[in-house]
Each structure stands twice: as structure tokens, then as C-alpha cells.
A and B are shown apart, each in its own frame.
Chain A
Amino acid sequence: MSVDPFIKELKNVSTKQGAFQQLVEKHQEKLYWHVRKMVLNHADADDILQNTFVKVWNNIDNFRGDSSLYTWTYRIATNETLTFLAQQKRRNIFSSSTDNDYLAKKLESDEYFDGTEIQRKLQEAIITLPEKQRIVFNMKYFDEVKYKDMSEILETSVGALKASYHHAVKKIEAFLRNDEMNF
């Protein structure tokens, strides 16, 4: 199997920095929004994104090329995000009444949220979902990622992803119906 010349450049000490810079420039924006929609806060997303690229830099020699470089990087970003959320949850376990209360607070105080009231409602509904369902929902609904690609990134079967998305949609609908009835 022939190795992608760009990956060769990334693994070569003399060309690594230049190739890495290209990689960052190419994927930073997509990865930022992927992370941002999960953690909501800009500063946290920035931190996770930087950690992601540091991991890519440090582990590029271990990249076997089983998946595309973008998929691999996306997977690292997802794992970093899930680790961050788990840490946040542990930290807020005593101060929040529900699992995702801290996220609701973040959303409320986020100065970089520019959506309409209805979009805020949708976000409030999304943060009630379990993390993995949130990832699937965000990737499908906002980023329009194909199930096949999502399956590679999240290392989950297409069937499981479809089911996960379906459950997420049902929960969101229920949340919004409840919310409407309360007003």
C-alpha cells in the first residue's frame, strides 16, 4: 500500500513543521465548530482544539493510515471533547442539580452566542442529551456529515448511529413540546 506523500512529509523531521502547518490551516475551522457545539464555550473549545493538534503532532508517527488523516484528527478532537466534558461533569457534580446544568449555565452566559430565541431553545434541548447522542445529532443536523463518515470517526456502526440520531430527535421534540406547554 502506497503511503500518502503528505503523511510522509508529516512523518519526516525536516518537513514535519511545514506539513503540520498546512494540516492545521486546512482543518482548524471545521474541528473548532465540532468541538464548540459540544462544549459551548469559546475558551474551552480553543483549549481543546489546541490540545487536539498537540496530540496530532506528538502521535503522527503512530498514524497507520487505516483511516484518512482528517478522520483520525476528527476522532482525536472528539475524544478530547468527551474527556473534557467528563472532567467538567465530575467537577460540577455537587454544584449542579442535573448532569448538564453546568452546560445550561454556560449557554446562558455565552457572549459568543448569536442565535435567535428559537435557536437557543434548540440548544437547550440538545444539552439534555447524553454526550454521544449530542455528538451524533450535531454532526448530522448541523454539519450534515454522512453516516458512513461518522461511522469511521466515531468507530460506531451506521445502524447504531441512525438509531442514536432517531432517539436524539425524539427527545428534542419532547423537550420542545414540554417547553411550549409551559408557556
Chain B
Amino acid sequence: MKTKDKNNTNIAFSNENPFICPEGYFDTLTERIINRVESEKQTSTTKIIRILKPALAFAASFAIIFILIYIPASIIGNRTSYSETTEQEILDLYYVNDHVLVNTFETETQDDYNEDLMEKVLLASVSDMELLEF
């Protein structure tokens, strides 16, 4: 047994390691450490999911609430604007039609009125008897 006197002190014990470990401990240690590292990797992924879970749940609930409120609201909103547009368009049409009618009438009166043609049409549509009675 090796005995040493360190640094000129009076300690004169063996500096051999008095501890032992279970037989074959170092044979399997590397494998167990690698397995531990692998499991830690998985745990860290699970940990990230666990940390993000409340945030994801909150985002999902928000999305559901958004879908439940926004989509029906937008459909109703679209319907309202459609009917408003339609009414406006109808009013515009009325307005346009009055103008068109007046314009058309004035134009036709000025340009297309033909006395001879009118006479021919009237003669063709009225019978001789009707003319005599008149």
C-alpha cells in the first residue's frame, strides 16, 4: 500500500481511493448517459409543447370566438349592404329612366316624327267604316 507524506505534513495515510462502485458500473455508464441525453431531448420538446400549450389553447379559443362572431356578423352585414345597394340602384334606375324617357320623347318628337308615315299607319289600322262614322 502506497503511503505518502504530502507537503511535509504529518498526514501519512494512503492516498488510494477508499471508495468502490457497483461491479460493471463503468461498462454500462456511457450507454446510460446517452439514453439520458436522448430522453432529455424528448423531454425538452415536451416541455416546449407544455409551455406553449396555454398560449395555443388561448389562440384556438380566440380563433373559435372570432369565427363564431365575425362570420355571422359579416354575412348579416353583407346582406344589409346588398339591400341598400339594390334600393339605391332602383332609385338610380328610376332617376335615369325619367331622364331617358324625357330625352327619348323629346328626341323622337323632334327628329323622327313624320306626318306622312303617321297618316299611313292610321289609315292601315282604321277600317273604312270607322272613317265613315267619324
Interface residues of A, Cβ cutoff 8 Å to B: 17, 20-21, 24-25, 28-29, 32-33, 36-37, 40, 42, 45-46, 49-50, 53-54, 57-58, 110, 112-116, 118-120, 122-123, 140-142, 144, 165-166, 169-170, 172-173, 176
A-B contacts, 22 of them at CB < 8 A, read: A20-B37, A24-B30, A33-B19, A53-B36, A53-B37, A54-B33, A54-B36, A58-B40, A110-B19, A112-B21, A113-B19, A113-B20, A114-B19, A114-B20, A115-B18, A116-B18, A123-B18, A141-B6, A144-B15, A169-B6, A169-B11, A170-B9
CB of A50 within 8 A of CB of B32, answer: yes
B118 within 8 A of A: no
B95 within 8 A of A: no
A104 to B14, CA, bound (A): 20
B34 within 8 A of A: yes
CB of B17 within 8 A of CB of A142, answer: yes
Secondary structure class of chain A's binding surface, majority of residues: helix
Given A32-B21, A33-B19, 7 more A-B residue pairs with CB atoms under 8 Å apart are: A29-B26, A32-B29, A50-B32, A57-B37, A114-B19, A115-B18, A140-B6
CB of A28 within 8 A of CB of B21, answer: no
